Amino acid sequence: MNDQDDFSIKFWGVRGSIACSGPKTVRYGGNTSCLEVRCGDRIIILDAGSGIRYLGNELITKGPLDVDIFLTHTHFDHICGMPFFTPFFVPQSKFRISAGHLLPEHNVEFVLSEMMMAPLFPVPMAIFNADIAFQDFMSGDTLDLGDGITLRTAPLNHPNRATGYRIEYQGRSICYITDTEHTLDAPDENVAGLIRGADIVIYDGTYTDEEFPNHITWGHSTWQEGLRMCEANDVKKYVLFHHDPERDDDQLDEIGRQLEELRPGTVVAREGMVLNP
């Protein structure tokens, strides 16, 4: 049992685009996006990349669950762990899976069921025994999750769209801004509005500023842009996230060194890391 005022975030997957394994990525981790947020006794999972499998293996030892899962979007690296999330097989558990980028053309239940459909996948979503509800909202909506938890959202600049999140609890805040591309002429006002004054901002730093011109329209940002945005918007702690699968541990160490010099206290996300806002 957590204390009512416990507010924490644990990183189960920090890698972008595709999971990667091997000795060069073992220290920061190779699993794709998945975060576990605790607000008192409430559990909120952000994204269901390959990291969610490990989170599931831990949660399944805790008995029946009541959990909210919010997806930034449904690109494969953010949902590929879902079929392997063992708590979905526990009949007494309840889940609410939500996304804000699909309306009006699609809905999250349909898109996830398409992923788990032959011949792409051997078993359909109906194989899950837990009580799973699906909910679509519009990026930009503010959601009241009860128990004093407010979820603010904003649209991100990404192919097929994505949603940025700000979780507010007990007067503190965690923002999750991944899979977003900035422009070179002006800061993204949607992102700025969401992260202003936040305690923790987790940001898509897939590229460096030097690499960025070769990846325009790919839908990702740079570690330097994350730094500029956090500086300009009074963010307390900046967490670099969605590491390029080509970025090895030594390169991430070097980026971390530069960030520590430029903005002490900044961290490069790694699997297993826990932060308290």
CB atoms within 10 A of CB 26: 12
Among residue numbers 59 through 118, which ones bind Zn ion (CB under 5 A)? 75, 77
Segment interacting with Zn ion (CB under 5 A) among 60-68, 121-129, 178-186, 259-267:
178-186
Q: How far is CA 74 from the centre of its chain?
A: 11
Alpha helices by DSSP H, the chain: 52-59, 108-115, 189-195, 223-232, 249-262
Q: Give min distance, CB of 76 to Zn ion, in A.
A: 8
Q: Does 47 bind Zn ion (CB under 5 A)?
A: no
How many distinct helices (H) and strands (E) make up the chain? 5, 14
User: Which is nearest to 91 in space by CA: 141, 139, 137, 129?
Assistant: 129
Q: Does 16 bind Zn ion (CB under 5 A)?
A: yes
Q: Which lies closer to Zn ion via its Cβ, residue 157 or residue 224?
A: 157
Q: Which lies closer to Zn ion via its Cβ, residue 11 or residue 169?
A: 11
Among residue numbers 222 through 241, which ones bind Zn ion (CB under 5 A)? none
Instruction: Give the SS3 label for residue 268.
Output: strand
Q: Give min distance, CB of 73 to Zn ion, in A.
A: 6
Q: Does 136 bind Zn ion (CB under 5 A)?
A: no
Whose CB is nearest to Zn ion? 75
Please state, in angstroms and rounded to a whole number, the distance separating the CA atoms of residues 215 and 226: 16
Q: Which lies closer to Zn ion via its Cβ, residue 93 or residue 221?
A: 221
Q: Give min distance, CB of 158 to Zn ion, in A.
A: 6
Q: Which lies closer to Zn ion via its Cβ, residue 36 or residue 168?
A: 36
Q: Helix crossing, 223-232 with 249-262: angle to 10°?
A: 20
Residue 29 tokens read as 């981790």
Q: Which lies closer to Zn ion via its Cβ, residue 39 or residue 162?
A: 162
Please state, in angstroms and rounded to a whole number, the distance separating the CA atoms of residues 235 and 47: 23
The CA-CA-CA angle for residues 130, 132, 133, to 5°, reads: 160
Q: Which lies closer to Zn ion via its Cβ, residue 74 or residue 93?
A: 74
Segment interacting with Zn ion (CB under 5 A) among 4-12, 60-68, 125-133, 177-185:
177-185
Q: Give min distance, CB of 130 to Zn ion, in A.
A: 26
Q: Give min distance, CB of 165 to Zn ion, in A.
A: 14
Which parts of this chain interact with Zn ion (CB under 5 A)? 16, 75, 77, 179
